[in-house]
Structure formats: C-alpha cells, structure tokens
C-alpha cells in the first residue's frame, strides 16, 4: 500500500515531502514529483506535509488515470531527488486546478 503523487502536484511541485521522506523515494520531473512505489514504506509522512493534498495512499485512488502505474513508470525514468528545491514561482495559481494531467503534464525529467 504505497503512497503516490497525483495530478494536484503538477505545476505546484512544492517539495515539502522530499525533506520528510525517510527513504528518499521521490523522483523529479519538470513539473511534478512521483514516488517509487517499490521504495515507499507506507509511513504517510509525505501525505501530511503536502500543501496541495497531492499525495494519497494507492488504496484511496478512484478513477483515471492510474496513478500507481504513472508513479512507477516515471520513478524509473526521472532522477531521484534528495532535498527540497524551489517550487515554481506561479505554484499558488495552479492549486486546485482540475484535469492538469490531461493538459499540463510534462513527461520530461527535471533539468539538472
């Protein structure tokens, strides 16, 4: 029962979760983070720290897209992030926007 990052992270990417994760299971794309479900120890620390409620248990998922598969796929492609970076300047303006995966998701890894 790992935790996963959902579309609420897209374009917000606050990264509070990165600092609190005891196993460093976050991976960074250009405009969102994902969790490697194989590394997640289900501690829930990240869920409580996310200011946009983008992190949920995979047992609480309902509907499309398949966030567990998305987190698994992109954690294999994107670089591991070990410390919090700077969120996007316009992050607040993206909070609560619906359907960001269909319109805003970027599959590219974060630029180093």
Every domain of the chain and the residues it spans: 3-83
Mean pLDDT of 29-55: 97
Mean pLDDT of 14-39: 97
pLDDT at 61: 84
- Ranges 32-36, 56-60, 74-78: which has the least confidence: 56-60
pLDDT at 1: 81
Does domain 3-83 fall under CATH 3.40.50.150? My reply is no
What phi and psi values does residue 29 have, to the nearest 5 degrees? -100, 180
Q: What is the C-alpha separation between 40 and 87, in angstroms, rounded?
A: 23
Specify the pTM.
0.94
Q: How confident is the model at residue 65 (pLDDT cuts 50, 70, 90)?
A: confident
Residue written as tokens 């501690």? 43
Mean pLDDT of 87-110: 96
Q: Is the pLDDT of residue 112 over 70?
A: no
Q: 40 Cβ partners below 8 Å, 6+ apart?
A: 2, 3, 23, 25
Q: Is the pLDDT of residue 63 over 90?
A: no
């Amino acid at each position: 029962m790992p935790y996963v990052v959902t579309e609420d992270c897209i374009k917000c990417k606050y990264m509070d979760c990165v600092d609190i994760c005891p196993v460093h299971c976050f991976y960074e794309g250009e405009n969102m983070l994902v969790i490697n479900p194989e590394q997640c120890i289900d501690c829930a620390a990240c869920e409580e720290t996310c200011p946009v409620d983008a992190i949920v248990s995979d047992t609480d998922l309902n509907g499309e897209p398949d966030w567990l598969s998305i987190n698994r796929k992109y954690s294999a492609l994107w670089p591991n992030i070990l410390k919090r970076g700077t969120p996007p300047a316009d992050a607040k303006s993206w909070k609560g926007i619906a359907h960001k995966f269909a319109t805003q998701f970027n599959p590219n890894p974060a630029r180093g």
